[in-house]
Amino acid sequence: MKKLMIASTSTIHGSGYLEYLMPTLAVFFADVKSLLFIPYARPSGISYNEYTKIAQKAFEKIEIDVKGIHEFKNSKEAIQKAEAIFTGGGNTFELVNQLYKNDVITTLKQVLENGTPYLGTSAGSNICGVNMMNTNDMPIVYPPSFTTLGMIPFNINAHYLDPIKDSTHMGETRETRIKEFHVFNKTTVLGLREGSWLEVLGDIISLKGNYTARLFQKNENAKELEIGVLNIK
């Protein structure tokens, strides 16, 4: 049975790395002693080692040891043997590029379908969708495919932002960009606001946190989804 936490972000305003999620993570990973970290997204271009140290420091608080996938000689085997897996945020294009380059995306999909507990934040959440086409990131590299894990039957737009009333900003809103996506694509998109996450237990997907989510479906008006079990077709 799938067991996933798909969070919009790792850090909310005024909070440390993963701090707002720690009470939930302590329960979610209650039986986990060690965790495999996938640092491929490299936020701000930091190294895998630097990124892994950030994750290690956070998970020390709930007594979970963290080791980066790059520290293993065999990446596939590391995924297959992992008690739990965490993929951090950063650039989704580079994350997906490395998952394909290291030939581990299929292996990751298989272990998650078989029940390995998984946490994704930001880019690590984007890859849980059907594809990565609703990321907000710059295309700094060209991955072999936009197809991702398909753990949920829709795409995530992490860090979803509502239009700011009376703002003089003339650029596109997130809603505008998602409408452009739906001109050419049918995949449903969920705008996940900061401080919110999805809990996936088997086929049951629930919205958690303090905020509603924004649902976009082709040729339909956007809808607000309340906290609780989601029924997205």
What local confidence, expressed as pLDDT, does residue 170 receive?
59
Tokens of 28: 């979610």
Q: Which of 190-221 are b and which e, b meaning 16 or more Cβ less than 10 Å from the residue's Cβ?
A: bbbbbbbbbbbeeeebebbbebebbbbbeeee
pLDDT at 229 over 90: yes
- % the chain with pLDDT above 70: 97
Residue at 169 is within a domain: no
Query: Residue 49: pLDDT band by 50, 70, 90 thresholds?
Result: very high
What local confidence, expressed as pLDDT, does residue 70 receive?
98
Domain that holds residue 35: 3-161+189-215+224-229
- % the chain with pLDDT above 90: 91
Specify the CATH number for the domain of residue 97.
3.40.50.880
Count of domains observed in the chain: 1
**Which residue has tokens 């951090």?**
88
Residue at 202 is within a domain: yes
What local confidence, expressed as pLDDT, does residue 14 receive?
85
Residue at 35 is within a domain: yes
Catalytic residue among 8, 10, 75, 122: 122
Catalytic residue among 159, 166, 169, 203: 159
Least confident of 32-36, 83-87, 161-165: 161-165
Mean pLDDT, to the nearest integer, of 147-169? 88
Residue at 172 is within a domain: no
Residue at 15 is within a domain: yes
Three-state SS for 191?
A: strand
What local confidence, expressed as pLDDT, does residue 232 receive?
87
Residue at 168 is within a domain: no
pLDDT at 146 over 70: yes
pLDDT at 200 over 70: yes
pTM of the predicted protein model:
0.96
137 is catalytic: yes
Query: Residue 171: pLDDT band by 50, 70, 90 thresholds?
Result: low
pLDDT at 131 over 70: yes
Query: Residue 46: pLDDT band by 50, 70, 90 thresholds?
Result: very high
Catalytic residue among 10, 75, 125, 137: 137
Residue at 167 is within a domain: no
Residue at 41 is within a domain: yes
